A = this chain, B = another copy of it.
Amino acid sequence: MIEVGIVGGSGYGAVELIRLLEHHPQVRIKHIFSHSKIDEPINKTFPHLNHLTHHYEDLNIEDVTCDVIFFATPSNVSKHIAPKLIEKNIKVIDLSGDFRLTNRDVYKQFYGETAATQQHLDQAFYSIAEWGTTNQKDLQLIANPGCFPTATLLALHPLVDNKVIQNDSIIIDAKTGVSGAGRSLAQHVHYAEMNENFSAYAIGKHKHKPEIEQYISRLANEEIKVVFTPHLVPMTRGILSTIYVKLNKQMTAEHLHDVYQQYYDNKTFVRIRDLGEYPKTKEVYGSNNCDIGIYVDEESQTAIIVSVIDNLVKGASGQAIQNLNLMYGLNEATGLQQLPVYP
């Protein structure tokens, strides 16, 4: 059994890790940490987990003995702790943004804080699990991608990798359910104000913009900037990313569809929809799937790619477990085969 601990145990990332890991045949949850709720039973905070006997623990690095620690924390937490765990030979999978950006200035600009050391950033592997490295087993520190980047990069990857688009033309109009904002209270996610309300936010300033840029720039081997507009949808779960790109040559929808089909042929969790059909967020609710729909406006040589995930599963905890599976040489789908909850 792989013994794991979860830091940030009172948040949504943690509670979703628990939901999924409880069905993972090779994993045992040993510790759940929360520095604001030390010694409290978890099922007091989350009554739906009332079969769980765990109590929240204080994270005391000397005493931690498990194999893997998940950080399901806000930014500015893991960068202070993860390096010490790695020294103790404990693997870290970080769901926060602390180890995603390799450029410390960019981190400073978008996160408003000092980044982790360059050495630790270099040590981290940013892992969209569909393209995990073959030697994933030797990894000590995985930066688990953000929710918007996951939905977006799974859609952009075949385009950039196959060099079929103008790399300076990428526009990402992304929409997320409210759980993406986390469990901390804020006026704009107060029920009475968020319900029956749709809005754009953080245009040009969202932390996931440089994350997307860094990844596709590396993939394309040139610096790429994107236009990225996040929106907040009055629903709990789900991300839909609508991506507009200029094709760099005439291409039919059928042709582009083939590109995607082949690209994801052997990937468990990415499903390409038939032409003329577009995925809906509810169709991946509660699952680790990413469903993708494709449209080509031949007139303007614009491709429109629609990509959906459950932000808490493929966009966070599910992908983190998928990465754990890769680290341990397990089938990537182990413990992750729950079907979408529909309706």
Contacts and interface: CB of A to CB of B under 8 A. Distances in A.
Contacts of A238: 196-198
Nearest to A298: B204
A172 B304 CA distance: 12
A341 interface: yes
Given A200-B242, A200-B278, A244-B171, A297 B227 contact: yes
B342 A15 contact: yes
Contact of A235 (B197, B200, B203): B197
Given A178-B191, A244-B227, A200 B339 contact: no
A192 B199 contact: no
Interface in A185-236: 185-187, 189-201, 203-204, 225, 227, 229, 231, 233-236
B244 A193 contact: no
B281 A12 contact: no
A187 to B, nearest CB: 7
A201 B237 CA distance: 19
Interface string A157-191: 00000000000100101010111010101110111
B340 A48 contact: yes
A195 B283 contact: no
Interface residues of A, number: 80
Nearest to A340: B48
A257 interface: no
Contacts of A284: 48
A189 B182 CA distance: 14
A302 interface: yes
Given A48-B285, A183-B187, A198-B233, 18 more contacts: A12-B192, A19-B341, A47-B291, A49-B339, A173-B173, A177-B192, A185-B190, A191-B234, A195-B236, A198-B240, A201-B278, A204-B295, A227-B244, A227-B304, A233-B234, A234-B235, A244-B244, A338-B338
Interface of A: 12, 15, 18-19, 22-23, 46-50, 168, 171, 173, 175, 177-179, 181, 183, 185-187, 189-201, 203-204, 225, 227, 229, 231, 233-238, 240, 242, 244, 271, 273, 277-287, 291, 293, 295, 297, 299-300, 302, 304, 306, 337-343
